[in-house]
Amino acid sequence: MTIEVRQLCKRFGAFTALDHVDLLVREGELLALLGPSGCGKTTLLRLIAGLDRPDSGLVLFGGEDATARTVGDRQVGFVFQHYALFRHMSVFDNVAFGLSVRPRATRPGKAEIRERVMSLLKLVQLEWLADAYPSQLSGGQRQRIALARSLAVEPRVLLLDEPFGALDARVRKDLRRWLRDLHDQIHLTSVFVTHDQEEALEVSDRVVVMNHGRIEQVGTPDEIYEQPASPFVTHFLGDVNLFHGRVESGRLTIGPFAHPLQGVDDSERAVAYVRPHDLDVTLVADGALAQGRVDHIHAVGPLVRLELRRDDGESIEVALGRERYRELGLAPGDLVYVKPRKLSVFPDAPDYVI
């Protein structure tokens, strides 16, 4: 089942939550809506689900207009951040709830309900907890039960709103791997909301980066990370260093540093964005992008993080492999030079907002 939104708009008073959004979710894909709080990602999910109505625009399921359909008619499975399990019901009864409250004409028999529920509990690897109650489960187990309950009604699409937001970091990591594996088994068109960049990049087939009610970029995790379409996307997906220069005759120049570019128009001012792990440190000035003195060394884990202090007081963050760090033999106060392995260049626009 494909999901398509066309020119979708939603306002809450004077606040514009969605501003003429167009998006196509392909059949069978797992799509992440990523962005900061207030960017419109949850509003978009709720409009797809039918929990809210747009001020204008269309929502299509499988090419058919579903904008005016109710939640029930859209046949969506919705998983909330805080589980929303019935505390007085067993795990089995929670999963069976959507089937047992159907009108008599469409309600499966008890044997069929039991077979379907146990099959789903096995799918989420919790069949042994069928008789337990939500209070007896861990946070990760409750979220898996909530997902099984949403799948019990055989939805055409699955929507998840910050599904792991209430869990600790280790459980989140385990569950997102599990969700990816589960999706590969069932191939149900799925959309999930997250503000966690690592989560979106690790789990999804494609990522939609949103900001101020608009879509900044849509692409695979690799495309989004390696080829960011805007300064906002570059900043939002992780730490980045900024170096100000200009583009002339197809080259970025920052002081004595020059770098050939393709597809970037000449501009009086431009900014090079370089992630810490895309910078190398040398003791030689030749061809360097910038220089600075080692201000702080954080040598924990496989990467050694350096903070360099420039003459103008600005800092440069660098992430080096341990072998390279040992080779350089750095100490606080050393003067070093940085060279980029990879950089993204955008026209200088200091007034853009995150």
Q: Report residue 262's pLDDT band, with 50, 70 and 90 as the boundaries.
A: confident
Q: Report residue 106's pLDDT band, with 50, 70 and 90 as the boundaries.
A: confident
Classified by CATH at the fold level, domain 239-347 comes out as OB fold (Dihydrolipoamide Acetyltransferase, E2P) (2.40.50)
Q: Which residues contact 4 (CB under 8 A, 6 or more apart)?
A: 23, 24, 25, 58, 59, 60, 63
pLDDT digits (tens, 9 = 90+) for 149-194: 888 888 899 999 988 776 777 777 788 888 888 888 888 999 999 9
Classified by CATH at the fold level, domain 3-229 comes out as Rossmann fold (3.40.50)
pTM attached to this predicted model: 0.86
In the chain, where does the domain assigned CATH 2.40.50.100 lie?
A: 239-347
Q: Which residues contact 196 (CB under 8 A, 6 or more apart)?
A: 164, 172
SS3 344: strand
Q: How many other CB atoms sit within 10 Å of the CB of residue 84?
A: 12
Lowest mean pLDDT among 70-84, 87-101, 144-158, 301-315: 70-84
Q: What share of the chain is helix, strand, coil (3-state, %, to 5)?
A: 30, 35, 35
Q: Report residue 23's pLDDT band, with 50, 70 and 90 as the boundaries.
A: very high
Q: Report residue 263's pLDDT band, with 50, 70 and 90 as the boundaries.
A: low
Q: What is the rounded distance in angstroms from the CA atom of residue 306 to the CA atom of residue 246?
A: 27
Nearest to residue 218, comparing CAs of 6, 64, 21, 50?
Answer: 21
Residue type, 148: A
Residue 54: pLDDT over 70: yes
- The string of DSSP codes covering 51-101 is SS--SEEEEEETTEE-TT--HHHHTEEEE-TT----TTS-HHHHHHHHHHT
In the chain, where does the domain assigned CATH 3.40.50.300 lie?
A: 3-229
